[in-house]
Structure 1
Amino acid sequence: MIFTHPKFDPVALHFTDSFGIHWYGLMYLIGFLAFLGLGRYQVRHKPWFNWSNQMIDDALFYGALGVILGGRIGYVLFYQFSSFVEHPLDILKIWQGGMSFHGGFLGVLVAMFFFTRKYPQPWLKIMDFVAPLVPIGLGAGRMGNFINGELWGRATNADYGMIFPQVDMIARHPSQLYEFALEGVALFCILWWFSRKQRPIGAISALFLIGYGSFRFLVEFTRQPDDYLGLLQLGLSMGQWLSLPMILIGIWMWFRANTRQFN
């Protein structure tokens, strides 16, 4: 069955002709609120992490800075470097779109390092607490991509697909929804189930790396490559090349964690 993208208005609430609240911004808000709510649940029900509600609030502040700064810088470096060299002030125009998950991920890693300066705990233990709180935000972000009609999929000859009229009249994979289902829903369920009891330090973080990296690598086969990059070596996209190290490092961490080498 072939559906047609509804071409949603990217602005959820209009206050004036030039000012309003964008759906994508609301998706970030959902991700941050989910982090707070789920984090407080973990504080109450997973005491082995030794966290407090104040730590949750501070982690959100540090993490939000890491996501926004890292996501934007990563997008510039990984996807549009030459364009921003020619127009450097465009780096500040975040409202025009352009965020990289992998850049945001690296930003969060750095932010949590500074977080450990305020709350002395092993960095990997901090990341184990944070990892299950992330997928809801990832899923919300992909829903924002779908509402905006961006990051659409490759053309498909299957019996199902979606036409994005803002692009062309060709049936395509709704890859944003695939990513919502895998990076958001499935990854959350896996990590939430796995973290229901105490695990070796680094094991939850390792599972996040393996899970996200694998899901992203697979979905990229249905996602339209960026026009300015296309497919790279071995016919893989930039997203796939950036996901491969996550998978490999995650596998390495998984074996080290389960042999208690991070304790």
Structure 2
Amino acid sequence: MPFFVIPFPYIDPVLVHVGPFAIRWYALAYIVGIVAGWIYSRHLIRTERLWGGPAPLKMIDFDDFVLWVTLGIILGGRIGYVLFYNLPHFTAHPLEIFQLWNGGMSFHGGFTGCVVAVVLFARARGIPTLTLGDLTCAAAPIGILLGRIANFINGELWGRPTDVPWAMIFPNGGPLPRHPSQIYEAGLEGLAMFIFLAVMIRFGALKKPGLIIGSFACFYAVARTICEFFREPDAQLGFLWGGATMGQLLSIPLFLAGLCFIVYAVKHPLRPKTT
């Protein structure tokens, strides 16, 4: 055990009780992330210089899309967790699938749910699918950042045992000091990726539909793979093929898909509207 261990800063996972209902930090992270992402996306839409002219969609389109993407995140994230991380348990206890307040969401499932929402909404409204996807991915790191912070507050998804000076003993993680891997993920998958994509947008990435989608997918896949080396694998899964974790294995197809989007975007830039 290291000589110095940082005490875990216990914060009640429940922010406030309203009668029989409890508002949790985890739920608040989703709500604030979606609202902040919506505000940021509206800013991008009305900034014409980022598109080389008017954006290919209107702000009212994105306003209506928020409900679709919210459902995509929740349904996709939950279904992904059930299928990828704990299928035997949920097969035996199917009613627990609907108990979202007990936790259990998969990023890769949530991302897939977002893709479905983007495709269906874009087709219904007759707006460019890749452009809508770019806006969604540009705002997504905000939600990831807040979600990982909420994981830390909940004392879940802790890291592997370590002797680094900033190691922590998590309430439900046993007696060993561990990496605060939730903070690593918040910084790399959330803050660093948001800055990276924002810089790309500043230099014209939105003029190449699909470039932000591809860059988001590749960046997240690499960041998640790195962070998984510090994060304790899910107890019900452990290490899988070749000592990899489920998060790392799921990141492989995500990375490859991202590369395809980048190649397509580079070859098919947005053509400015003419009047």
Question: C-alpha offsets along residues 69-107 of structure 1, whole Å, 9 cap, x if unaligned?
Answer: 111111000011011111111111111111111111101
Distance 2:269 2:38 in 1: 31
**1:222 paired residue number:** 230
One-letter amino acid of the structure 2 residue matched with residue 226 of structure 1? D
Moved more, 119-128 or 185-194: 119-128
Pairwise CA distance, 1:261: 8.4
1:97 aligns with 2:103: yes
Per-residue deviation at 1:138?
A: 0.7
Could you tell me whether the CA contact under 8 Å between 2:56 and 2:131 is conserved in 1? no
Which 5+ residue runs of structure 1 have no aligned equivalent? none
- TM-score after normalising by structure 1: 0.94
Name the CA distance, whole Å, in 1 between partners of 2:41 and 2:265.
23
Which residue of 39, 61, 73 maps to 2:67?
Answer: 61
- 1:56, 1:125 → 2: CA distance? 11
1:29 partner amino acid: I
Partner Cα separation in structure 2 for residue 36 and residue 207 of structure 1: 20
Alignment correspondent of 1:194: 200
Distance 1:127 1:111 in 2: 9
What letter matches 2:70 in structure 1?
Answer: A
Q: Could you tell me which residue of structure 2 aligns to residue 139 of structure 1?
A: 145
1:13 and 2:35 matched: no
Which range moves more in the overlay, 77-86 or 192-201?
A: 192-201
Supply the AA of the counterpart residue of 2:112.
L
Task: Map residues 172-191 of structure 1 onto 2, 5 A cutoff.
Answer: 172-191=178-197
> 5+ unaligned residues in a row in structure 2: which ranges?
none
Offset, 1:158? 2.2
| SS in structure 1 at match of 2:264 | helix
1:36 is paired with a residue of what secondary structure? helix
Q: Tell me the equivalent position of 2:218.
A: 210
Q: Give CA deviations for 1:229-252 in whole Å, capped at 9, x if unaligned.
A: 000001000000001111122123
1:227–1:44 CA distance, 2 compared to 1 (3 A): same
1:126 corresponds to: 132
Q: How far did 1:262 drift?
A: 9.3
CA contact (8 A) 2:56 2:127 kept: no
Equivalent residue of 1:137, what SS? helix
Superposed, which structure 2 residues align to 1:16-31 within 5 Å? 16=19, 18-31=20-33
Distance 1:191 1:23 in 2: 26
**Equivalent runs, 1:226-241 vs 2, <5 Å:** 226-241=234-249
Query: CA-atom RMSD, angstroms?
Result: 1.7
Residue identity opposite 1:223 in structure 2: R
**TM-score using structure 2 length:** 0.90
Specify which of 243, 246, 254 is matched with residue 262 of structure 2: 254
Alpha-carbon distance between aligned partners in 2 of 1:160 and 1:90, rounded to the nearest angstrom: 36
Q: Which residue of 1 aligns with 2:58?
A: 52
Letter in 1 for 2:12: D
Code of the residue aligned with 1:64 in structure 2: it is T
CA distance in 1, matches of 2:241, 2:40: 40
Query: C-alpha separation between the residues in 1 aligned to 2:151 and 2:209?
Result: 34
Percent identity between the two aligned chains: 43
Give 1:201 shift. Answer: 1.8
- 1:157 and 1:112, CA in 2 relative to 1: closer, same or farther beyond 3 A? same
